[in-house]
Structure 1
């Protein structure tokens, strides 16, 4: 078996991974970054709308922390929330120092207010020649160039099968290359930056490589997870005339949702409507309209007619141009938008430096939980990636423990299977989660989902091959992560934020806290336990 040695191993090539790699390299560590596809050109950062929470001079750390904690329905980790807010100003400086160009008007950063934030603090990168559909390249490509300049090593096209352990420590990872060869990635410290799990669901705007690998990898290495029931559905997934995520800054600037009868239905459930509603509230309202037969196909109308002309000509110019090219004049025509799985609030338990509950293992970005609680405010995902990427990279670089982990490949199993059979199993898993762990859930649906999950898992286990391939390994990890979602959603007997139970429709103070998931004995079912909330001081 071939091997590669490094001080810090970063798994994931999006904004969090690149930031962590740069921070670790600047701290003097040798850094190897690996990912399933191409670093800087894959993962969800690529297609992010570009909204980035900042901290303007007239804003405060306390204000941002209060909005973030409240937006997460008061169950986020107060220390992580505070860390996020305190790191906002330096995160913007870091990005600009790496060559990221941010949109300015008359020399000043153009900050807009996103629903859930109490003031205008959301900024946006300057697109230049980058298409609006891949706005995230304005962030990742400058960071990729900076990482290369610093001497970060890269290995793309690697499927990480599991994290390697040496006693209680993580000592790197075992990966499979595209030709089926095993590779031992030996490291003093490992940073998970694999992103979320949007592609575990049938309806998602995530890129194809975001399949929840990191959750399963962390759990099997002994790390705890939290908040896995909280899946954010984006309320503005473009359906016609373009299939892209539309920025939620639109709602703070005058856009409103309307059903097929032209009614501004969000006012029925949220006082104040779009400017103040969270993504969870918007998504649940859209779902109710669709169930009542008041939608337009699979979505509703997005009325952009009240967006000010100066914003249409600056902040939204690329989007307006795209809509017009597709025959939709935003001042006169209404595009349709629907729901799509967008972001996972839950993930690996970390401390303020990205450290997991297992020595030697760190995390940054969407693979981690605790920062957002039950709902995420717009702009906080990119901020989280930078703030915790920097902190995880710096802390991981300080690791000095020499380890020699166990890198034995998984045992061979039975076959055969075909690519078509495996693809069908993956599609069934995605439909299962969309149907039973979607916007609105119930005890009956979740029980049915777990029963179907067991059938799929049994089938997948019967297909293990003597010659493993990346697609099969990815599917196995998808199944393990999906079980965590179902178990957590089944356990929380209330509705809070993005977790909505039709059989427990009210928020219940008895459930103010998070559900922690830890690995069971052997290959047994993960253990789910409730941890009461620690309130901020």
Structure 2
């Protein structure tokens, strides 16, 4: 209300935001490029209005721009409801493993971050809401504890995962604070390396212009291969950093100081000032991981392929495909969080607590105890930093059989070092468990990326640069088989047809 779209981008955003239900569903499926589950996408649309109404009834208040708040009103509203219950909250406790008995999830094992003590929790059902894998990568736009823990918990419990090769990758500021660049890149903007040389033209195909590359990128925002030129912006940035031409913070420079560029005003200007970013001088930016579009396979109730194990939000896959519509990750967290909570509670409340054999938790407890008696290094941070670097340059934007094989070698080397770790400090135990999870997830994701021998959405294979619908309208599915990931494919949307992106307006 009160907003009249002016620019072409604003008109496309308005079309996305105010689409009727049938069109909204069609938009999700088209943005997903055949990789979204139509049943889950339908649930997302069907439950959207009631989900928002529930949040408003709980006191959530959303500002018009959403710049400072984003998910904060949701967290505050849900926290308020939680405090009205008699739920026991294990604050600052990391769950390291799930407990599975007779093929069903029956609880979890974790570590108290304050004391280092092992915590065993028996439960009728378990819901994962652990977010994604952003901290696998050098540059990301997430809190430091977003380490893919939920993916690994589900994988080790025997659950199937899918769409792990698809990421949302945005431009973002990296210093002095990390922030997503939401506004379009205007004409006359300069992208420079640390030597103040404009570099984008050096990476474009013959005959292409930087202006056209940026125009295509402004039509969606995240990195994607679904158009012809926008991908070269991220490819150029990553290659400049790889060549050592970045700043001390592994960034390039975005210069909006040309007098022909209108200054940022209003809420956007206030937001950047609040975050310490000053566009009156060149700003350090880079290509950043924002969120993952894959995760644990779920049904319409949020239940994974392991009975009584549920997932919602970024840890779950299906409502989104290769790309997604803007704002739908938060929506999915609330829609499927509510469904998972109701379904899990209905099951658990009707069950009598069973005696759980000690052997069910023994292996999970041993994983923690083994860290206290190793004979190797005791500081995980250097190894985590190395993994961040390898993943950013070999797994995030540009991929090939060569880079992925090299990355798997890097992961193996760090894993061998980690197997000899000795840690006793509670904080170091948590950090080491997170690093173990990141390494396992890195292996799983690299295998998924190797399997998909085409480019689709944000999955860009330099050795297979084109989308191949004839062979690859299939989802990559990963499941644990012994000590290794078993990678297969499955068709989730057999009726999908490419209707063209003109029908979906602004996505991402």
Match of 2:224, SS state, is helix
Task: Name the residue aligned to 1:16.
Answer: none
Task: Name the residue aligned to 1:221.
Answer: 157
Shift in CA distance, 195/276, structure 1 to aligned 2, threshold 3 Å? closer
Q: 1:289 aligned to 224, 227, 236, which one? A: 236
Aligned equivalents of 2:338, 2:391: Cα separation in 1:
33
> How many residues of Structure 1 are paired with residues of Structure 2 in the alignment?
447
Task: Name the residue aligned to 1:501.
Answer: 461
Equivalent positions of 1:197-236 (< 5 A) are 197-235=133-171
Task: Name the residue aligned to 1:401.
Answer: 351
In the TM superposition, what whole-angstrom CA distance separates every residue of 1:236-269 from its partner, at most 9, and x where no partner exists? Answer: x1246x5332353x339x7996534598966545
Task: Name the residue aligned to 2:177.
Answer: 243
Aligned equivalents of 1:69, 1:343: Cα separation in 2:
18
Shift in CA distance, 378/206, structure 1 to aligned 2, threshold 3 Å? same
Aligned equivalents of 1:55, 1:169: Cα separation in 2:
44
Match of 1:342, SS state, is strand
Match of 1:419, SS state, is coil
Is contact 2:160–2:305 with CA below 8 Å preserved after alignment? yes
Q: 1:519 aligned to 476, 480, 483, which one? A: 480
Is contact 1:257–1:300 with CA below 8 Å preserved after alignment? no
Query: 1:275: how far off?
Result: 3.0
Task: Name the residue aligned to 1:28.
Answer: none
Higher relative contact order (CA closer than 8 Å, sequence separation 6+): 2
Query: 1:465: how far off?
Result: 7.0
Aligned equivalents of 2:188, 2:320: Cα separation in 1:
25
Is contact 1:515–1:528 with CA below 8 Å preserved after alignment? yes
Task: Name the residue aligned to 1:280.
Answer: 224
Task: Name the residue aligned to 1:161.
Answer: 96
Task: Name the residue aligned to 2:3.
Answer: none
Task: Name the residue aligned to 2:420.
Answer: 462
The structure where helix makes up a greater share of residues is: 2
Q: 2:408 aligned to 437, 450, 455, which one? A: 450
Q: 2:305 aligned to 335, 353, 357, which one? A: 357
TM-score by length of 1: 0.75
Match of 1:410, SS state, is helix
Task: Name the residue aligned to 2:279.
Answer: 328
Q: Which sections of structure 1, spanning at least 5 residues, go unmatched? A: 1-52, 104-109, 111-123
TM-score by length of 2: 0.78
Aligned equivalents of 1:259, 1:197: Cα separation in 2:
28
Q: 2:122 aligned to 183, 186, 205, which one? A: 186
Aligned equivalents of 1:149, 1:54: Cα separation in 2:
37
Q: Is the aligned partner of 1:259 residue 2:191?
A: yes
Aligned equivalents of 1:81, 1:155: Cα separation in 2:
33
Q: CA RMSD in A?
A: 3.3
Is contact 1:441–1:502 with CA below 8 Å preserved after alignment? yes
Task: Name the residue aligned to 1:480.
Answer: 440
Is contact 2:95–2:110 with CA below 8 Å preserved after alignment? yes
The structure where strand makes up a greater share of residues is: 1
Deviates more, 1:68-77 or 1:466-475: 466-475
Q: Is the aligned partner of 1:174 residue 2:109?
A: yes
Aligned equivalents of 2:158, 2:412: Cα separation in 1:
22
Deviates more, 1:211-220 or 1:425-434: 425-434
Equivalent positions of 1:309-324 (< 5 A) are 312-314=265-267, 316=268, 318-322=270-274
Query: 1:156: how far off?
Result: 0.8
Match of 1:519, SS state, is strand
Match of 1:155, SS state, is coil
Query: 1:370: how far off?
Result: 1.8
Q: 2:291 aligned to 319, 343, 347, which one? A: 343
Query: 1:312: how far off?
Result: 3.9
Task: Name the residue aligned to 1:82.
Answer: 42
Equivalent positions of 1:361-376 (< 5 A) are 361-376=309-324
Aligned equivalents of 1:150, 1:73: Cα separation in 2:
42
Aligned equivalents of 1:102, 1:80: Cα separation in 2:
26
Task: Name the residue aligned to 2:72.
Answer: 137
Is contact 1:440–1:502 with CA below 8 Å preserved after alignment? yes
Shift in CA distance, 91/299, structure 1 to aligned 2, threshold 3 Å? farther
Task: Name the residue aligned to 1:428.
Answer: 386
Shift in CA distance, 208/492, structure 1 to aligned 2, threshold 3 Å? same
In the TM superposition, what whole-angstrom CA distance separates every residue of 1:309-348 from its partner, at most 9, and x where no partner exists? Answer: 9x9435x35325437x65435xxx6645321111111111
Is contact 1:239–1:338 with CA below 8 Å preserved after alignment? yes
Query: 1:430: how far off?
Result: 1.8
Is contact 2:293–2:322 with CA below 8 Å preserved after alignment? yes
Aligned equivalents of 1:506, 1:57: Cα separation in 2:
30
Deviates more, 1:165-174 or 1:85-94: 85-94
Equivalent positions of 1:6-25 (< 5 A) are none
Query: 1:138: how far off?
Result: 3.1
Deviates more, 1:256-265 or 1:405-414: 256-265
